Every structure is written in structure tokens, then in C-alpha cells.
Amino acid sequence: MPIHFAKLVPEQAKKLGHKPVMRYRDEAERSWKDISWTEFNRDVQRAASSLIDSGVKEQVHVGLFSQNKPECLVVDFAIYSIRAVGVPMYATCTTAQIVYMLNDAGIELLFVGEQYQYDRAFEAMNAGCCLKQLVIFDTSVRLAVSDNISVYFKDFLQKGYINDHGPEVEQRRKDASPKDLANILYTSGTSGDSKGVLLTHAMFQEAMRVNDLKLRYLSANEVSLCFLPMSHIFEKAWDLFCLMKGYRVDINLNPMAIQMILKEVRPTVMCSVPRFWEKIHAGIYANLNSKPAYVRVLFQRGVSIGKKFHLDYKRNGLRPPFWLWASYCFYSQTIFHIVKKTIGIERGTFFPVAGAKLSEELCDFFRSIGVRLVLGYGLTESTATVSCLDQTHYYTNTAGSIIDGLQVKIGADQEILLKGKTITPGYYNRPEITEASFTKDGFFRTGDAGAIDEHGHLIITERIKDLFKTSNGKYIAPQQIETALSKDPYIDMAAVIGDGCQYVSALIVPNLKEVQNLAASLGVTADTTEALLKDDRLYVFFEDHIRKLQKNMAGFEQIRRFTLLSKPFSVEEGELTNTLKLRRKVIAAHYAEIIQGMY
């Protein structure tokens, strides 16, 4: 069984010492700074001592509200070290969301990242929640005039150095149990209040064990780029796995700068969501379309060769014939290498993708050019991984083979049901919802529809609650249609409409950069983006693209009407969850007039 997280950092520090455990980008110096295992262990020890000095008892809830920072991992492991419970929150949460989680979890001590998080937390404190102290990571944060209880993290650590509670920290580490609650992770939720998922150390230990079985082919020198929010179970579990294995974690503090960061870090591993790779794919082809015709033909020929090499032979454990091997080597070392190096992923060995559905075509494309995307499926309630693609004998229309020790079966309405050591015991303060989330024989209801194919691989078809029925009685799976639309480089986002309506329609957020180039080529001019998108020539262009993208769908599934929107759906407007899933009811309310106009 993998080591308990309460003991992981000091044990790794003994073995790895001055080896870098993580790096962060110093924006002032525009360079990457190393943090060694020895330094990490020192800060974890001081933070743990400071938490005890602040009165934090075993299994008390401590909040963390920050964008990705090295300090987040220091706090996480300090909390584990003293057997407390970490409650991470998305850095983009609103004041109302923070107030709800603080009150629900009874949080009195909250760590915050930068000015936005501090301001929201201070507002929450004045809104009557139980919060008593804020600890601020960024020393440039301006404190409110009336704030006399907040401290900066550097001063918090100093308190742990002066008031050393080392013996008690060590005793709590010795007493640490797999049964201890490790985290409460609040789901972002597509409707209603978020729910606090209970995650024990035993769940994490089992997750580490089964993922280690799946990933034996990774080396000891992997470099992971921390890109998704650490409050997301996918990134959180992956970072914990990296630390357990001794991989270096480079932390991306600014998601908007990911294109630059990729080129600076050139990671070997990185977990991400499908939307990231959809944008990469669109960018590759946008760049390719500006090249001479012979380059485009050469690239497509290379993709065809790569598909034979990887999907026809390597995937099936077969040795490619010499002519195919030689042809693929040529493309791999020339045009594919240039493409990957331009992005910053030429050193990549493993890129897990989850959180939503990625089209089979996109996965095949990246696999063909030598980018090992590993599709997977999981939930917060399953400590991330339920299934993922294997090295060989995988199928990109599935979410891969099921992890060791997990029972999976298909219930009523094709719902995927789970039972095993990585499955949550329930939701904090929600006994009724917990009871409703499990079958009588103890299987967790995922809310996702799917199937298990003849190879034992899991297929995800749709989120059950997202299914809707047209007035003609036909069931529509909107995510399937939206995934098909997202393959088009001219489409940035899409929301499919049609519940109770006579036909399917859609709200389309176009890729404005590509649309502006398209408009210039068509001779379309307008004073505003809104006026541009109302031009009939652009509508006909999108109509043709959408028809081609849906050519293999049933007639009742195909979009009959659509509207081009001038601004994307956003987290700030409540139209997306913090994990960028559509909140369909909010979108329907915000665009009610436009939707009504399409019918």
C-alpha cells in the first residue's frame, strides 16, 4: 500500500534531498525557480506547526482559496501532517459561493492566493460566515483598512518556526490513519448548490496504487506541468501521484499564459481537458492553412502514415513493416517534430485527458502524429480515475479499461454504477443526497450513461441529466452533438437547445479570429462583431460546416437553426461551471429571447 500522505514529504526528503520537487515562474525575474524536497519539507513542517499553534485540531476543516501556487502544496501536506481536512475552492469562485462552502464546512481558517481571492474572502467574512482568520500567499495583496486579523503566509510560517510544535506534528503523523478524512472537494455543479465530496486517505492510497499499475511505463525523470486547477480532482490526484513517484511538478500560475508556459517547460506529462486539445488542433490547422498546398498535402500524408503505424500496428502489439517504420520515422523527425516543438510538447510521453468527451477523430489525429493522448473517465466521487486507455489494445471510441479492484456495472437507463475502495462514502452534511446516490447493493450512481464493450472497455455516451426530448418524442444527447461541432476550427463553443421543442437548434460561439480572417476573404465588412456575425454569407458558411459535421447523425438530431453569439459563455456569468461545463438552465435563461426567435 502506498505511503500515507501525512508521512510522504519527510520520507521523500530523506531520499531525494536537494532534487527539485517543483518549480514556479518568478514573474519579476521571468525565470523558473526550483524548490527542493528539503526546502519543501521544511516549509511543510513549519506550516504544520503554525496550524497547530492556530488551534487546528485533528479532522478540523481548513480552507484553501487560491490559483495554483507552490504554497498550495505546502498547505495541503501541512494539513495532512496534522490529520486535519483540506477544503480547496476554485480560484474563480464568487463571494456567494465562498460563503456557502465556508458555512457548510464550518471553516474558520482560510488560505487565499491573490487580490481577487482575498477580496472575496473578506467580503465573505463580513457576510456573517464563521471565518475567523485569513492567511494570504501573495505579499502584494492590499489589505482592507478594517482588516486586523489577516496575516501573510511568510509571517504564518515564521510563527511555526518561533512556536515550534514539532513533537505534536510527529505524534499526529504517527497516529494518521487511512480512515482519516483527507479532503472535502466541492463539485462545481451544473445545477443547484455544490456538494462536498468526502475523500479519505484510504481512497487516495488506493488511487495511487491502481494508477501506478497502469503507468509502469513512465520513467523516474518525468516533468509534469500543473495546468488544471489544483482544486479539481483530476489535477489534485495527478499532482499527488507525481509527488509520490518523485516527478518534478512545474506549476502554472497563469492559465492564460499556457502557450508561453508550454514552450518554457516542455513537459513530458500533463493532464488536461478536451477543450485544450480541441484548441491545439484548431491552431495546428489554422497555421497549416496558411502554408503552401504541397506542405498541406505532405502533412496529411504524414498523418495517414502515422495512423497506420500507431493505430493499425503499434496499438495491436504488432511490429510495423520496414517501409512503414521508415516512412513514419521521416515524418516523426521532421514535420511532426516541428509541429510538436512549436507547441512545446515534443518531449511528451503521457497526456491524460478527462473531464468531458473528446472526439475519436481528434484522439486518432494526435496519436497519429506521436502525441500520446490517454483518454480516461472519472469523477470527484471516484478519486478521479475509473478507466483509461492502455499502452496497447486500446480503442479511442472508449474511455479505456477499468482500473484494478473497481466494480463497474450498467444499471437502469444505462447508468454507470461503481463500487470499490476509491469510491466516496458520501457528501458532507447531505445524508439524503448520499442515500439517493447509492443503489441498495452499495453501488454509486454516476449519473453518466454508458456501456461496457466486448473487450471490457468503458464507453461513455451521455450525462443522463443532460438528455432531453423533443416535442416529437425523440431523445437527444446534446454533448454528442456539441463534441462533433467542436472539431470545427471556426467553432469555439456550442450549446445545443431542443428540450420540448419540435427540432434541435444551437447557440454557437465562433472562433472570432478565424471568423475575422474568413470575413476578410469573403469581402464581409462591419463596424461591430455583432453586425459581422449577422451577415448572411457567414451564416451560410457555418450552415454548410454544421451540416458536414452532422452528416452521420440521424435527421432528428441535426441542427435546424442556430445563432452566432458575439461573446463566449463564461464562469463569471454563471453559464459555465468552474470546470467549464455548460450550465444549460442558466444559458437558456440568459438567451431566452434568442432561443425563442429560433422557433
| Structure confidence at residue 359 (pLDDT) | 87
72 pLDDT higher than 80: yes
* Helix or strand run (H / E) with residue 447: strand 444-452
Asked if residues 213 and 401 have their Cβ atoms less than 8 Å apart, the reply is no
Q: Are 70 and 24 in contact (CB under 8 A)?
A: yes
Whether residue 491 sits in one domain with residue 560: yes
Q: pTM for this structure?
A: 0.87
Residue matched to cell numbers 477544503:
87
The answer, yes or no, to whether residue 191 has pLDDT greater than 60, is: no
From 152, 176, 200, give the residue that closes a domain: 176
**Does residue 557 lie within any of the structural domains?**
yes
Note the pLDDT tens digit of each residue in 555-565: 888 999 999 99
For position 189, what pLDDT does the model report? 58
Confidence category of residue 476, pLDDT binned at 50, 70, 90:
confident
CB 480 within 8 A of CB 462: yes
Helices 335-343 and 322-333 pack at an angle, to 10 degrees, of 40
Amino acid making up residue 549: L
Does residue 188 register a pLDDT over 80? no
Q: pLDDT tens digits, residue range 95-118?
A: 988 999 999 999 999 999 999 999
Interhelix angle 274-288/335-343, nearest 10 degrees: 120
Residue 3, pLDDT > 60, answer yes
Domain limit, last residue, from 464, 482, 508:
464
List beta partners, residue 402.
387
Domain limits for position 403 = 274-464
Domain assignment present for residue 263? The answer is no
Residue 123 burial class via C-beta count within 10 angstroms: exposed 0-12, middle 13-18, buried 19 and up: middle
- For residues 563 and 502, membership in a common domain is answered with yes
Q: Are residues 496 and 560 in the same domain?
A: yes
512 located within any domain: yes
pLDDT at 472 over 80: no
How many helical (H) and strand (E) elements, i.e. helices and strands, does the chain have? 22, 24
Radius of gyration of the chain (CA): 25
Pairing status of strand 181-186 against strand 196-200 = antiparallel
Q: Is 487 part of any domain? A: yes
- Residue 479 shares a structural domain with residue 402: no
Note whether 74 and 153 are same-domain residues.
yes
Which amino acid is present at 178? P
Indicate the SS3 state at residue 284. helix
Same-domain check for residues 388 and 353:
yes
Residue 368 lies in a domain: yes
- Co-location of 378 and 415 in the same domain: yes
Three cell numbers at 115?
487580490
Provide, rounded to the nearest whole percent, the portion of the chain with pLDDT above 70.
Answer: 99
Q: Specify whether 436 is located in the same domain as 578.
A: no
Please tell me the total count of domains within the chain. Answer: 3
pLDDT at res. 350: 94
CATH code at position 490: 3.30.300.30
pLDDT, averaged across the chain? 93
pLDDT value of residue 94: 87
Instruction: Give the pLDDT confidence of 433-467 residue by residue, as tens digits.
Output: 999 999 999 999 999 999 999 999 999 988 887 77
CA pair distance 60, 52, nearest whole angstrom: 11
DSSP string of 66-84, one letter each residue: -SS-HHHHHHHHHHHHTT-
SS3 of 352-404: EECCCCCCHHHHHHHHHCCCCEEEEEEEHHHCEEEEECCCCCCCCCCCCEECC
H or E element: which one contains 494? strand 491-497
415 and 523 within one domain: no
What gap in Å lies between CA 334 and CA 179, rounded to an integer? 52
Task: Kindly state the cell numbers that stand for 224.
Answer: 509534469
Tell me the β-bridge partners of 418.
408, 444
Pairing relationship of beta strands 31-36 and 61-65 according to DSSP bridges: unpaired
420 and 340 together in one domain = yes
Q: What is the pLDDT of residue 345?
A: 97
459 and 486 in a single domain? The answer is: no
Same domain flag for 403 and 516: no
Residue 339 has pLDDT above 60, yes or no: yes
- Which whole-number Å values give the CA distances from 106 to 98, 103, 156, 353, 578, in the listed order? 12, 5, 21, 34, 22
- For range 56-81, the mean pLDDT: 98
Distance, in Å, from the CA atom of 209 to the CA atom of 312, rounded to the nearest integer, reads 31
Q: Give a yes or no: residue 197 inside a domain.
A: no
Say if CB 384 and CB 399 are below 8 A apart.
no
CATH of the domain at 366: 3.40.50.12780
From the list 478, 381, 388, 398, the residue with the least C-alpha distance to 434 is 381
Mean pLDDT of 129-157: 94
Which of 160, 176, 192 is the last residue before a domain boundary?
176
pLDDT in tens, 41-56: 999 999 999 999 999 9
Q: How many whole angstroms separate alpha carbon 10 and alpha carbon 16?
A: 10
Phi and psi dihedrals of 429, rounded to 5?
60, 20
Q: Is 338 inside any structural domain?
A: yes
State percent of the chain over pLDDT 90: 77
User: Residues 300, 307: contact at Cβ < 8 Å?
Assistant: no
The secondary structure element, H or E, covering residue 463 is strand 458-463
Q: What is the CATH number of the domain that holds 157?
A: 3.40.50.980
